[in-house]
Amino acid sequence: MTMFRLGLSLTLRGGREAVTRLLLTTFAVLVGVTVMLGVLSLFNAYQSTTVRQCWECSPTTVDLGAQGGGGPGSPTKAGAADAGVDLAAVRQAGAKELWNFSQDFYQGTELRRLDVAALTADAPAIPGTARVPGPGEFYASPALADLLASVPHSQLGDRFPGHQAGLIGRAALSGPDELAIVVGHAPDELVKRPATQAITALSTGKEVKGTTNIYRFAFAFGTVSLLLPIVIMVGTATRLSAARREERYAAMRLVGATPRQVSVVASVESFVGAALGAVGGTLLYLVLSSQVARVNVTGTRFFPDDVTPRVWGYLGVLVLVPAAAAVVAVRSLRGVQYDPLAVSRKATPKPPTLWRLTPLLLGIVLFVVAVNMSTSDYSDLVVYPALVFTLWGVVSAGPWVTMQSSRLLARHAPGAAATLAARRLADNPRATFRTVSGVTVAVFIGTAVAGFLPSAVRAESSGERAPLTNVLRLRYDMGGTQISPAKSASVLADLRAMPGVSVIPVYLGTDTSAWNPDSGGPPPEGWQPPPQYVRCADAKALPALGTCAPGQDVAMIAADELFIDNPLLLRLPVMGYSDIDRRTGAGRAAPVPTGVDVSQLDITVLMVTSSDRAALEQARTYLDLHAPVLLGVGSPDQWSTNAIGPMTFGEVASVRQEMLRAAQQMIFSGVGLTLFIAGCSIAVATAGSLVERKRPFTLLRLTGTSVAVLRRMVFLESALPLFTVSAMAGLAAYAMAYIAVRTIAPHAQMAFPVEAYTLTVAAVVVGALAVILGSMALLSRMTRSENVRFE
């Protein structure tokens, strides 16, 4: 207990230097805890969107046995209607509800639609609704309800028959901006719709968010980039005036204090400052929490009451942060505990060796392995360690690079300031680099993000795919579900009557083989799918598809190529080819068809284009009502039971880009926080370094050294590692981004934003230097002649 009281006395009554150290520690921890609580709140909000019940996932279906249904809980190729099952058979099988989920879009935003019909009184309703809507009723999410009230019915409202009976509650939504609707039908009406399922219960599984390799890499960067700078800042705060404290604790050891007693005193001093900072940071977060709830880090807003660190988050920072500060303080005194005489004699620590580059090199090697095994389920086991090793390697290599730069400075830079700065850098490169380590991490993360994510986004939304961005595509690819010649005449006429709308139908040729793709068996050897044709006059509306020879009326087209879910793999043109090898991009040239009357063929693919977004939405609404897509895409042996509404090529890309943008926004937010924390770390570390060297600075002044020389010395010893290590971090990050782009998207071009990046990095470096220069105002006051007497 005596040592606790001594620690408190030294902390609270140790003079101006002790108070200054306590205030700086409290401020640093306060900022770190505030940011930590904000990040934790946003992470909890994100987690809340991923743990909600996925009502739109595959439900529990009834077993219709030989009548064509699937087993319980299993998606089936045939819905209730597809199997030719009448309503009485569905009821007899124990079904409680008819269920038909589909995905639609409105101006690029996904719209989730569920058509239902209750068969029993206890038919399952989705979360957030009191009951299953009856015929002529629908429940809409608040965001969709606002849209329905504000846009013309021909563009959106006509897709949903009936009137609004209520709103979908938040239990079914991932955010306040989600578009979702549940439409009620009569059973005898919905049972006739293809892809309808007879179910007994909704899915109880949790929603799964973005799982692509690109998103995993980006999310890993975001996670690590937010934790490391906070750890650096808290560690910097708890190590303030480490040299002065080591002298004091070494003296205590030399007069008889035990290592345990010294550890208690040191831990109390750090614990008090960290505890005050943790309490202050918690109070500051509570003041700013309403603003944190407005932050958008994933591309969609969160429900405000989900943005909270929760009770365990508050308890965690209030307990763990002070405890961690005490542990860091004790750990930093290992030299005092085991060799106090070396500390008192100011023994120079061992210089960092070349081995400090090992974690960085190992991280880059692991990253190369991770991106090359990106299709493996085990890639996560490699990518996270790769990123941790790389970021750790940047921090680990910093002192070695700092020491090498000090040797260059001593060899090539003249003057007293350069000599003193070089000596300081060479004497303790670890402590000097610690001042700018936060900015170095920010430069690494910012460079990696700037090199990778813009390239990925550009690759999916530009190039040869760009002309198709606003083209609706519909695929009628199930046997017997193509648009017949009799129906296609009226559909095409109605669409072409809409101002500014162009239609490109693709016709399915006659299959001369005896094999039926819907039979479920493998195709015979040498089987070729039936040819697909397009009129040359229609294809002129989309030159990117290809061109016909002069006088040619009809061309074969590899239309299946247009339905790749990854736009990076789309190969154009597709006219004049029977198929295209997706591995090589090479197409198999098709002969020019002769004597083909496409007016007698079914339509299997429909493309609609318009430069007017309103006209395009009107065409989409018309197709939803009069020529709906019956089933989603998939392999012939495992068709999805969810319908996919008319989608533009840009919307196909946006499904993937949504994850990229969310990751990009999350990481840019992390980089911004990193820069903020790094600036605070520089201010705290520089001010602490000046206070720590009060005695040598004052002695230098007494021996005739001017304040200007001291300022140049402090500036050089901070600016030199800032420039050299940041350059190393930037080059390593660019190399990793280049490797990722070339491996994951080999056909993409690097879209590095040189101008924006240069301006941003320049602003960061200038800001860091301004913080360093601002802290030098302490020099003139610290080194006055009246301070020549020391305690």
Give the list of residues 6+ apart from residue 25 with CB closer than 8 angstroms, or none: 237, 238, 240, 270, 273, 274, 277, 325
Map residue 573 onto helix, strand or coil: coil
DSSP assignment of 128-164: T-SS---TTEEEE-HHHHHHHHHS-TTTTGGGS-SEE
The residue behind tokens 């290599």 is: 397
Q: How far apart are CA 494 and CA 159, in angstroms?
A: 16
Residue type, 560: D
d(CA 698, CA 229): 33
617: number of Cβ within 10 Å: 22
Q: Which helix (H) or strand (E) holds 608?
A: strand 602-609
Residue 645: phi and psi, rounded to 5, are -70, 175
Amino acid letter, 686: T
Count of alpha carbons within 13 Å of 783, Cβ hemisphere only? 24
Q: Which DSSP letter does residue 563 get?
A: G
Q: What are phi and psi of 376, to 5 degrees?
A: -85, 150
Cα–Cα dist 49/261, whole Å: 49
Q: Report, in angstroms and rounded to the nearest whole number, the Rg of the chain calculated over CA atoms.
A: 34
Provide DSSP, 652-690.
Answer: HHHHHHHHHHHHHHHHHHHHHHHHHHHHHHHHHHHHHHH
First-to-last alpha carbon distance for the chain, in angstroms, is: 26
Cα–Cα dist 266/273, whole Å? 11
DSSP 3-state of 199: strand
Q: Count Cβ atoms below 10 Å from residue 8 Cβ, excluding itself.
A: 15
Q: Are 641 and 75 in contact (CB under 8 A)?
A: yes
Nearest to 731 by CA among 395, 444, 364: 444
Residue keyed to tokens 């760009």: 466
Place of tokens 């921090």: 395
Q: How many angstroms separate the Cα of 746 from the Cα of each of 29, 42, 456?
A: 44, 34, 11
DSSP lists the bridge partners of residue 533 as 507, 556
CA distance 197 to 98: 6
Half-sphere exposure of 461 (CA within 13 A, CB side): 18
In angstroms, the CA 460 to CA 569 distance is 9
**What are φ and ψ of residue 525, in 5° steps?**
-60, 135
10 Å CB burial of residue 493 (0-12, 13-18, 19+) is exposed
* The two three-digit tokens of residue 579, written as one number: 């198929």
CA dist list (Å): 92 to 63, 66, 84, 194: 11, 14, 15, 20
Closest listed residue to residue 90, CA positions, set 57, 58, 68, 116: 68
Spatial CA neighbour of 696 closest among 346, 252, 406: 346
DSSP readout, 379-397? THHHHHHHHHHHHHHHHHH
Instruction: Give the integer Cα–Cα distance in Å for 261 and 468.
Output: 73
Q: Of 243, 192, 226, 5, which is closest to residue 83 (Cα–Cα)?
A: 192
Give the per-residue SS3 of 269-286: HHHHHHHHHHHHHHHHHH
Nearest to 431 by CA among 263, 715, 240: 240
In the structure encoding, which two tokens stand for residue 772, read together?
């360093």
The DSSP bridge partners found for residue 504 are: 607
Q: Please state, in angstroms and rounded to a whole number, the distance separating the CA atoms of residues 128 and 769.
A: 54
Structure tokens, 246: 């080591």
How far apart CA 95 and CA 82 sit, in angstroms, is: 16
* pLDDT at site 214: 47
DSSP run (H or E) holding 369: helix 358-372
Between the CA atoms of 470, 471, 477 and 481, what dihedral angle is there, to the nearest 10 degrees?
A: 110
CA distance 180 to 168: 8
- Residue 182's DSSP bridge partners are 114, 139
**The token pair that represents 761 in the structure block:** 């990095």
Residue 711 in 3-state DSSP? helix
Cis? peptide before 414, omega within 30° of 0: no
Residue-level pLDDT at 785: 66
Task: Measure the CA–CA gap between 568 and 449, rounded to whole angstroms.
Answer: 19
Residues 748, 456: contact at Cβ < 8 Å? yes
Both tokens of residue 654? 């946006």
- Per run of 10 residues, the mean pLDDT along the chain (length 791 residues) is 67 68 78 80 75 80 54 40 65 88 84 92 91 94 94 91 92 88 92 83 71 46 56 60 61 70 73 86 90 71 85 86 76 58 57 86 84 63 77 86 87 83 83 76 78 65 65 74 86 92 91 60 71 92 89 90 69 80 69 88 91 90 82 37 68 65 61 66 71 77 83 83 84 83 67 73 77 75 64 47
Alpha carbon separation from 563 to 76, 78, 589 (Å, rounded) = 22, 22, 19
- Contacts within 8 Å (CB) and 24+ apart, 522-531: 528/578, 529/579, 531/556, 531/578, 531/590, 531/593
Q: Which residue matches tokens 């000046």? A: 690
Contact 435, 717 (CB under 8 A): no
Domain boundaries defined on the chain: 1-50+233-347, 60-201, 352-462+653-791, 477-512+528-628
Q: What residues contact residue 539 under an 8 Å CB cut-off, 6+ apart?
A: 504, 545, 546, 547, 548, 555, 557, 575
From 656, 650, 665, 651, select the one nearest 111 (Cα to Cα): 651
* Alpha-carbon torsion (187, 191, 193, 194), positive or negative: positive
SS3 content of the chain, % helix, strand, coil (to 5): 60, 10, 30
Return phi, psi of residue 222, to 5°. -65, -45
pLDDT of residue 43: 73
Output the DSSP codes for 502-555.
Answer: EEEEEEEPP--SS--GGG-SPPPTT--PPPEEEEHHHHTT-GGG--PPTT--EE
Q: 0.85 exceeded by the pTM?
A: no
Question: DSSP of 70-87, one letter per residue?
Answer: --TT---SS-TTTTT--H
Cβ(94)–Cβ(80) under 8 Å?
no
